Structures are given as C-alpha cells and as structure tokens.
C-alpha cells in the first residue's frame, strides 16, 4: 500500500527580472506591424497586476556589457530572468557565456517570430543556454515566460520540502 502525505508549504514568492535589450525602449512608437503598438511599460503594468504573487523587476539597456552586469546582479539577488536581448541574441557570445554559468533560469523571449523573418534572425547564440525560447507571440510571450518560471519555482519548492 502507498500512503501519500500532504505537506503544507509556504507559497513561493518569486522575484523575476525582465531585461530588454537594444531599441526595445522604442516599442509602441515604431514598426507597429512587427512589434505592435503598445509600450512595454503599459504591458508591464498589466503583467504585474495579474501576478501580485511575485515581484517583477524591469530593466532595458542598449549596451551589451550592461546586460551582462544585470544578469550577474540578478543571479545574486533574484530567482529568474526573462531576457529579450534583441539584436544581441543573434551575436553575443558574452551574453551566452554569462547565461551558461548564471545558476538561475533564464527564458529567452522574442516578440516577433524570428523563424519567419530574415535568415540572420533565425538562429540565436543565446537560446541554447536558456531554459527555453518563446518567439512570435507578441508581448504575451513575456507573460508565458513568467508563467513557466512560476510553475517551475513552485514545483522546485515542493520537491525540496
């Protein structure tokens, strides 16, 4: 006979950092046919409101080294990262190397479907060392990434209790 004991666990409060790379501060102002017409700040407000159970911090940088520094700081202070490294996703060995040794999960997000665009966008240098890659679902991709990280965090907490 197999008896299963229910274990009461504290709800996990995850702290997640979203990092947007070069030019994503222009969201909602240019190329709406590719990236939509909403600013990231507007979307973020909605995302935070629907996830009162976690802390969602946000940073945007146009500088490769700053993104490396943000990732390393997140590994010290936070639980997970959602990263849209924008153009650096296709080129940055430095960001890839950082993610590879970070010790917290990173989910790569692209707003557009990179597989339906120019050839040079179809491969990312960074995706292979991330927990997974979400592409083509618009801003909703960030929410999908947060959802995955919360589920992953909760099941990890359950396993270690």
Q: Which residues bind ligand CA2 (CB under 6 A)?
A: 23-24, 26-27, 30-31, 35, 84, 86-87, 89, 110-112, 114, 121
Q: How far is CA 78 from CA 55, 63, 71, 85, in A?
A: 9, 21, 10, 18
Least distance to ligand CA2, CB of residue 8, Å: 41
Q: Could you tell me if 20 and 159 are in contact, meaning their C-beta atoms sit under 8 angstroms apart?
A: no
Q: Does the active-site annotation cover 90?
A: no
Two structure tokens written together for 57? 């911090």
The first and second tokens of residue 96, run together, are 């890839």
CB of 138 to ligand CA2, least distance (A): 9
User: Please, which residue, 14 or 99, has the CB nearer to ligand CA2?
Assistant: 99
Q: Which of 51, 110, 115, 123 is catalytic?
A: 110
Residue 31 or residue 77: which is nearer to ligand CA2 going by CB?
Answer: 31
33 catalytic? Reply is no
Measured from the CB atom, the residue of 14 and 98 that comes closer to ligand CA2 is 98
Min CB(45)–ligand CA2 separation in Å = 18
Least CB distance from residue 32 to ligand CA2, whole Å?
8
Nearer to ligand CA2, 26 or 100 (CB): 26
> Which SS3 state, helix, strand or coil, does residue 60 take?
strand
Length of the chain: 161
Question: Catalytic pick from 35, 43, 88, 142?
Answer: 35
Q: Give dist(CA 141, CA 138) in Å, integer.
A: 6
* DSSP β-bridge partners for residue 20: 60, 84
CA 61 to chain centre: 14
Catalytic residue list: 35, 110
């Amino acid at each position: 006979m197999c008896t299963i004991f229910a274990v009461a666990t504290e709800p996990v409060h995850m702290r997640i950092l979203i990092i947007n790379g070069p030019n994503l501060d222009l969201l909602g102002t240019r190329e709406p046919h590719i990236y939509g017409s909403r600013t990231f700040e507007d979307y973020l407000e909605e995302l935070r409101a629907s996830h009162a159970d976690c802390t969602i911090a946000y940073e945007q940088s146009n500088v490769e080294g700053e993104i490396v520094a943000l990732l390393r700081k997140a590994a010290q202070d936070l639980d997970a990262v959602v990263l849209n490294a924008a153009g650096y996703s296709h080129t940055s060995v430095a960001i890839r190397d950082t993610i590879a040794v970070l010790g917290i999960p990173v989910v790569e997000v692209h707003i557009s479907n990179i597989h339906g665009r120019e050839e040079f966008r179809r491969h990312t240098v960074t995706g292979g060392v991330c927990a997974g890659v979400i592409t083509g679902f618009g801003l909703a991709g960030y929410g999908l990434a947060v959802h995955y990280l919360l589920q992953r965090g909760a099941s990890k907490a359950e396993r270690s209790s």
